[in-house]
Structure 1
Amino acid sequence: MPGWLEIVIRSVVFLIVLFLITKALGKKQMAQLDIFQYITGIVIGSIVAIHVTDLATNAVYGFLALAVWFLITVGIEYAALKSKRFRNIIQGKGTVFIQNGKIMEDNLKKERYTTDNLLEKLRDNHVFNATDVEFAILEPTGNLNILPKKEHQPITPKIIGARVAPEKEPQTVIMDGHALLEPLANASLNTNWLETELEKMNVSIENVFLGQVDSDGQLTVDLYDDKLTVPEPTEKPLLLASMKKCQADLELFALGTDNRDSKQLYQKNSKRMQEAIDKITPYLQ
């Protein structure tokens, strides 16, 4: 067999094997690497590189080495799941850099971090003043996670006591001009609803690059033709306007009738409608 053809075959076979091993090791292997995962990546990559390019090596030994290293990795990760102490040895522990607003200089030296390194990591977290940080820890993966002081944390609806509507993840119901049935079912919708919504927008599904449904059941689309404009969803404003009109009509009926019982009934329902409007307005704006 020609050498170039053997290299091609080995490359394809080892690529498939490497893909299967990475798939079996799980998504964690693709995230930020801890110490052992970093070593695993280097070793597996070296095994593949050697046995793909060096024709003097036996490919079977390469597959055997990959299998052994795979079993070692799985075994160590299983042991790490069962033992916190073993996990600390293999994966390492986080190192506190800032605690109670104070920089821990000894911990910086332990991790061989300079002040410039710390400030750079803080800027990565959009913090430009170290005194704004209440707590910061260097994770085993090398990421620096921080907790800003209370006065420097972003304002949330909970802090100001505002009520917000519950929200679920949007469902992608159209992709590349085709309807996706599973996301539609997840949103408790169907193709008939989708066709109706597209007709309201005067858009054909073939011209839709991406279509998503939010937690309120509103459809938003991005078209292939960027020159075309799509009207914004109007369901919420129309509902709020209809409720306000209904409340105004009740007040008008109360003013227009001379019957005492009818007037009280209209006024009572007008008040109840106003209360409903006040409660639902934050969810519809």
Structure 2
Amino acid sequence: MPIWLEVIVRTLCSAVILFILTRMLGKRQISQLSFFEYITGITIGSITAYLSVDVDTHWYLGIISMGVWFLVSLGIEYLQIKSKLARDWIDSKSTILIKDGKILEENLKKEKLTNDELLEQLRKKSIFQTAQVEFALIEPDGEINALLKKEYQPLTPSHLGIKVSPEPEPQTVIIDGKIMDEPLATNGLNRQWLHTELEKLGVSLDNVNLGQVDGYGQFYVDLYDDKIQVPAPQEKATLLAQLKKCEADLEMFALSTKETSAKQMYGACSERLLKIIDEVKPVLSR
């Protein structure tokens, strides 16, 4: 076999083996790497490279070496799952870098970080003053997380004592101009409804790059032709307007009738509907 052909075969085989081993090791190998996983990734990658081009080396020796590293890495991951002590020793622990707005210089030196690097990481999280930070720590994977002091945290409905209903999961019903039947069925919809919505927007199915339906039944599309302006969904606004109209009608009926019992009934219904409008308005207005 010619050397160039042997290199091609070795490279393809090495790539397949490396892909299989990486998939078996799990997604952590490509996301949050511990020290050992980082070393394992470099080593297996280097072995794969040598196995591809070093034609003087027996190919099975490289595969054996990769297999040993794979088994060792698998054993370490199993040990980490079973033992917290092993996790702390292999992955290390989180280290506090800022506490009560004060930078802990000794911990910063321990993690080989400079003030400039710390400030850079804080700026990526839209934090520009260390005095605003309650505490910040560096995770075992090297990421820095920070918690702002109470007075600097963004205002949320919970701070105002407002209960917010959970946001239903949006469903992607069109991808690359093709209808996804399963997400449609999840929201209790069908193709006929979808085609009706497309007709309302005045767009064809083959021009839709992405179509999504939120939990409230509003339909959003992204078109291939970016020059076409798609009108925003009006279902929520229409429902809110209809509720307000009903409340106004009830109030008008209460004012126009001369019968006492009817006046009281219309007035009570108007008040109850007004309370319902106040409750649903935050949902229908966003």
TM-score for both structures, normalised by structure 1: 0.95
Q: Match of 1:164, as an amino acid?
A: V
Tell me the residue number matched to 1:235: 235
Tell me the residue number matched to 1:176: 176
SS at match of 2:227: coil
1:163/1:282 contact within 8 Å kept: no
1:97/1:108 contact within 8 Å kept: yes
User: Deviation digits for residues 160-219 of structure 1, max 9, x if unmatched?
Assistant: 233434213321111110011222233332222212211221222111011111121211
User: Deviation digits for residues 31-71 of structure 1, max 9, x if unmatched?
Assistant: 03221111011110011000101101111111111111111
- Find out whether 1:254 has 2:273 as its counterpart: no
How many residue pairs are counted as aligned between the two chains?
285
In structure 2, what is the Cα distance between the partners aligned to 1:252 and 1:125?
A: 53
In structure 2, what is the Cα distance between the partners aligned to 1:117 and 1:135?
A: 16
1:12-161 alignment runs, 5 A limit: 12-161=12-161
After TM superposition, give the deviation of residue 121 of structure 1 in Å.
2.4
SS at match of 1:265: helix
In structure 2, stretches of 5+ residues that fail to align are none
SS at match of 1:32: coil
Q: Match of 1:262, as an amino acid?
A: A
In structure 1, what is the Cα distance between the partners aligned to 2:17 and 2:252?
A: 77
4+ runs deviating over 4 angstroms: none
In structure 2, what is the Cα distance between the partners aligned to 1:93 and 1:152?
A: 27
Tell me the residue number matched to 1:211: 211
SS at match of 1:46: helix
User: Deviation digits for residues 121-179 of structure 1, max 9, x if unmatched?
Assistant: 22232222111111111111111111111111111121123343421332111111001
2:100/2:131 contact within 8 Å kept: no
Q: Match of 2:29, as an amino acid?
A: Q
In structure 1, what is the Cα distance between the partners aligned to 2:252 and 2:124?
A: 59
SS at match of 2:158: helix
- RMSD, aligned α-carbons: 1.5
SS at match of 1:220: strand
1:135/1:148 contact within 8 Å kept: yes
- Find out whether 1:189 has 2:189 as its counterpart: yes
> Which segment is superposed worse, 262-271 or 138-147?
262-271
In structure 2, what is the Cα distance between the partners aligned to 1:9 and 1:145?
A: 45
Alpha carbons of 1:62 and 1:214: their partners in 2 closer, same or farther (altered >3 Å)? same
SS at match of 1:159: coil
Query: Percent identity at matched positions?
Result: 52
SS at match of 1:174: strand
After TM superposition, give the deviation of residue 244 of structure 1 in Å.
1.0
In structure 1, what is the Cα distance between the partners aligned to 2:120 and 2:257?
A: 73
In structure 2, what is the Cα distance between the partners aligned to 1:79 and 1:60?
A: 28
In structure 2, what is the Cα distance between the partners aligned to 1:159 and 1:251?
A: 34
In structure 1, what is the Cα distance between the partners aligned to 2:142 and 2:118?
A: 12
SS at match of 2:76: helix
In structure 1, what is the Cα distance between the partners aligned to 2:66 and 2:94?
A: 31
In structure 1, stretches of 5+ residues that fail to align are none
TM-score for both structures, normalised by structure 2: 0.95
Q: Match of 2:116, as an amino acid?
A: D
